[in-house]
Amino acid sequence: MLIQIPEVLSQEEVVQFRNELDSTDWVDGKVTAGYQSARVKDNMQLPDTSPVAISLGQRIVQALHRNPLFISAALPAKIFPPLFNRYDGGHAFGNHVDNSIRRIPMTGEQIRTDLSVTLFLSSPEEYDGGELIIDDTYGAHSIKLPAGHMVLYPSTSLHRVLPVTRGSRVSSFFWLQSMIRHDAHRTLLLNLDVAIQKVGMDMEKHPSLVELTGIYHNLLREWAEV
Ligand code: NI
């Protein structure tokens, strides 16, 4: 499932992030690309050892852990330290599927990429083009979100970034391993969680809420790998 998570960062945080990102050194984005995607990838990135990338990445992970929709939708087990990229002057990233296994540079720990994340750090008015296009069984989805908003999508998806023809598109991107490996199971759990919360808001004391919450946790127990 493809899901948008609004306001992961506040507007003040976006301004702070951009001030730091706009005054640091960027390198060719091919550094984190696999063999195939290196041929279609044309953008700039912060090195994963960059102190700016490390500190801003930690702030993103902290913000995610405070975000109930993210937790409910992703059910994260391991989050890759966020990376940062910039597209300008015609930069683009052609069609590709992200690598299935990634090694976390600092710890050497491996994660299976179940979900891919793009957190937008430029507002849509700042640039032309640069849409993230994600293919799924319902067709191609074009994603261009306000700064501070994020999209979460299955890492199994073919996706691409269209050429940026004006301005700069700055974003953070990373992957995560979910406790729930299968997208269909994760989607069921999110839908159940949302439905339980809606019933809870309408009928706070309904006795079946306890049973439904029990079913949610028992499904999670059945499927989770921790
Ligand atoms: Ni990708």
Q: Is residue 148's pLDDT more than 80? A: yes
Q: Is 88 exposed, middle or buried (0-12, 13-18, 19+ CB in 10 A)?
A: middle
Q: Are 196 and 146 part of one and the same domain?
A: no
- On whether both 173 and 188 belong to a single domain, the answer is no
Same domain, yes or no: 172 and 187: no
pLDDT of residue 33: 75
Give the three-class secondary structure for 55: helix
- The single-letter DSSP state of residue 147 is T
Q: Is the pLDDT of residue 182 over 90?
A: yes
Q: Which domain holds residue 72?
A: 3-178
Helix (H) or strand (E) segment spanning residue 196:
helix 183-202
| Distance (Å) from CA 155 to ligand 1 centroid | 8
> What is the pLDDT at residue 106?
85
Q: What is the mean pLDDT of the chain?
A: 95
Confidence of residue 133 (pLDDT cuts 50, 70, 90): very high
pTM: 0.94
Q: How close is the Cα of 198 to the center of ligand 1, in Å?
A: 34
Rounded distance from Cα 213 to ligand 1 centre (Å)? 35
Q: Where are the alpha helices (DSSP H) in 86-171?
A: none
Distance, CA 219 to ligand 1 centroid (Å)? 30
**How many angstroms does the Cα of residue 7 sit away from the middle of ligand 1?**
22
Residues 77-117: pLDDT tens digits?
999 999 999 999 999 999 999 999 999 988 999 999 999 99
CATH number at residue 52: 2.60.120.620
Q: Output the CA–CA distances (angstroms, integers) from residue 167 to 10, 122, 177, in the order listed.
A: 22, 10, 33
Q: What is the pLDDT of residue 31?
A: 79
Domain count within the chain: 2
